[in-house]
Chain A
């Protein structure tokens, strides 16, 4: 399609986006800015003590102060950088691993498929959280360990999706036509399969990010993930939990931030799927 047509189509697509998608994109944009420019945007430092502990929302400090007197707003902004950044890296790792293994299983079939699928079945046989807890007990809780464990566990979902979608495309006649022509494996994957699975994979990337993000937040909340004093939304909830019994909504701020970002990504992914598959659902 010529460039002018693509531009027109893109503009139309944006114009017809539902309010939920707009909401989602706005939030994601805000988080991105906060994350990338944290030191500039945040009013105070990540670990700077700025006032009395346990100040409430809406005073001089927009979201109040935490249990040792640091500015919540600043820590939330730095948390965007830390938590979202780590989640993003983990998602990329998980996605890459799942994509490669899924494609291998779909294309090579037989023994590759059997072997990989059995391994994935075992990894998925028990809940990820439990598995992660087991491994982290073994290796100790450090960020690197956490990233690796979550990446491997989440890659199983990407594997299953890639394999399913890949196999669906793989049985279509045009793939067989290419095989019969004598095309090599890599050519078939690149030219015949990938263009047709790009869409569900893109959506899956978004969804994976959400799950990885929630997973990291949960582990940090349990004290087993990102450790203080690094600003992280999950552990901030944990740190400030006691303030709630004093009637302060402080821990709700980072918790709501987590939910807000996840919901936004979900809204955008939903809209993306709706656009590309024309599913009126």
Chain B
């Protein structure tokens, strides 16, 4: 049993070894061929201990988490090593043995609760199913236990919420219901697979707190899989850092964070430390973009209410908010995809036509946008040369050798070797590389303003940081202005000169970066700022103590 502020020092006080993986190997199938994706990993977990598995995409952490259940997804298979759960080798055991352990002694919490619950059955029926079918409890006992768990997890109306269907409860509530479902049979071990990744930052706190509490109350061992080191620092006693199917480093949480041995671990810790010096707007110049009293709606549904802000020349304005705040809609209004109900957009002092179809080619050229998902922003049938070349020929009339040379220049600017990449199909690139191509495409038009709509949200943290650095460098070199839309405050800290905070279609607060980040704040800004997990393992406990009962009763 650990107490707040005591992460790790009580190692020998932990129970005996519950789970031990030795030389675990897994293969995944890509296009008919099997390749190894986990290369001989060792893992030890004691009773009551929480182990964090952290890594970027492709690290194999989810696959290892599932292997702890003796399970491999379709297209994966366990090819070597041993998985000892309480003495039973899951890798060698027959399926019937594994099946009996799942749901009763080892449980799983998935990333998306909405997908993991069957839409045709009530919550309570799905939560009681495992213990009842494994013969551990009667239905009545299981239902009572489930309702008790709902209460412990601070769900509203714990006695009756179970009678609802999955689509009738909110995301954060559903995630906690899934934790209750995993806890139902009082398992020895729970695998948490990125349980808060899909949630808003404010909801994330509640779910994290609920998980931490319940795991302590029942002294359950847990493996917490995530890509976010700050999150896992709050939850785990020990951390294992994974990369490309290999273990990079492991250690007790506090020790690892304070004294990392490996370069990679250091990079992961540092990922949120990137900071740019905020600069004030250049005196006497008209802002490159002015949004004046814009109100916008999708059909009858109002989305933006009288918002106004400016983007000064050669500066970055970060628009920050959670989902539903209207920040992406603002981008659509500015680019002319969604004509506003009222208000106007001025570019360099001149009003722009509300609908993009009515804008001149030059007006369109000067404002470029980069989207969140590089996979869908690039045509899979096009080569890199075509993607970057088109704006050159379309806007600047470049042809032949002039165009070819410029494409190479741009590739070099985005740090991709021209010879290697110019003939590639866009599908052959990684996420980070695709996003760089999108940046090159935007640059090719020689714009003044680039709107970045959550450009790093879909990327791994280290890769995303590379993109941010690139963008900062390009701004210095070419005097670009950025409107940077994000939900992530660490990104705002990294890149912004000025900040605009949005909530429910309105601007809640705006100003220079340093002002926004210092108190006094608007209540919502305060909430956002405090909800961003920090690398300090005690952060969550402190926050919960501070927020106290006010937070408990919210039951969102």
Contact = CB atoms under 8 A, between A and B. Distances in A.
Interface of A: 172-174, 176-177, 179-183, 191-192, 195-196, 278
A182 B379 contact: no
B364 A177 contact: no
Contacts of B356: 179-180, 182
Contact of A180 (B31, B364, B390): B364
A167 B186 CA distance: 48
14 contacts: A173-B376, A177-B377, A177-B441, A180-B356, A180-B364, A181-B391, A182-B359, A182-B361, A182-B364, A192-B379, A195-B379, A196-B379, A196-B381, A278-B31
B394 A173 contact: no
Interface in B391-446: 391, 394-395, 441, 445
Contacts of B382: 195
Nearest to B369: A180
Interface in B361-380: 361, 364, 369, 371, 373, 376-380
Nearest to A171: B376
A176 B337 contact: yes
Contacts of A180: 335-337, 356, 364, 369
Given A182-B359, A191-B379, 12 more contacts: A172-B376, A173-B376, A173-B377, A177-B371, A177-B441, A179-B356, A180-B364, A180-B369, A182-B356, A192-B379, A195-B379, A196-B380
A281 to B, nearest CB: 12
A196 B381 CA distance: 7
Contacts of B441: 177
A182 B379 CA distance: 17
A53 to B, nearest CB: 56
B335 A182 contact: no
A182 B357 CA distance: 7
Nearest to B30: A278
Interface residues of B, number: 24
Contact of B364 (A174, A181, A191): A181
Contacts, number: 42
A181 B394 contact: yes
Nearest to A194: B381
Contacts of B381: 195-196
Nearest to B380: A196
B354 to A, nearest CB: 14
Contacts of B377: 173-174, 177
A88 B213 CA distance: 70
Question: Which residue of A173, A192, A196 has the most chain B CB atoms within 10 A of its CB atom?
Answer: A173
Nearest to B368: A180
A39 to B, nearest CB: 44
A182 B394 contact: yes
A65 B445 CA distance: 74
Interface in B284-326: none
Q: Which of B361, B381, B394 has the most CB of A within 10 A?
A: B381
Interface in B228-276: none
B377 to A, nearest CB: 4
B195 to A, nearest CB: 29
B418 to A, nearest CB: 18
Contacts of B371: 173, 177
Contacts of A192: 379
Contacts of A174: 376-379
A183 B391 CA distance: 10
Nearest to B363: A182
Contact of B373 (A173, A181, A195, A278): A173
Contacts of B394: 181-183
Nearest to B395: A181
B148 to A, nearest CB: 44
Interface string B347-365: 0000000001001010010
10 closest A-B pairs by beta carbon, nearest first, are: A195-B381, A173-B377, A173-B376, A174-B379, A182-B364, A172-B376, A173-B371, A182-B361, A174-B377, A192-B379
B450 to A, nearest CB: 13
A180 B361 CA distance: 10
Contacts of A176: 337
A274 to B, nearest CB: 11
Contacts of A177: 369, 371, 377, 441
Contacts of A195: 379, 381-382
Nearest to B371: A173
A177 B361 CA distance: 14
Nearest to B359: A182
Select the residue from A176, A181, A191, A195 with max chain B CB neighbours within 10 A: A181
A169 B356 CA distance: 21
A176 B357 CA distance: 12
Nearest to A174: B379
Nearest to A179: B356
Nearest to A195: B381
A90 to B, nearest CB: 30
A171 to B, nearest CB: 9
Interface string B119-136: 000000000000000000
A201 to B, nearest CB: 14
Nearest to A177: B377
A57 B143 CA distance: 74
A182 B358 CA distance: 10
A43 to B, nearest CB: 47
A196 B390 CA distance: 18
Interface string B27-66: 0000100000000000000000000000000000000000
Nearest to A169: B379
Contacts of B359: 182
A192 B364 CA distance: 19
Nearest to A176: B337
Max chain A C-beta neighbours (<10 A), residue from B377, B379, B395: B379
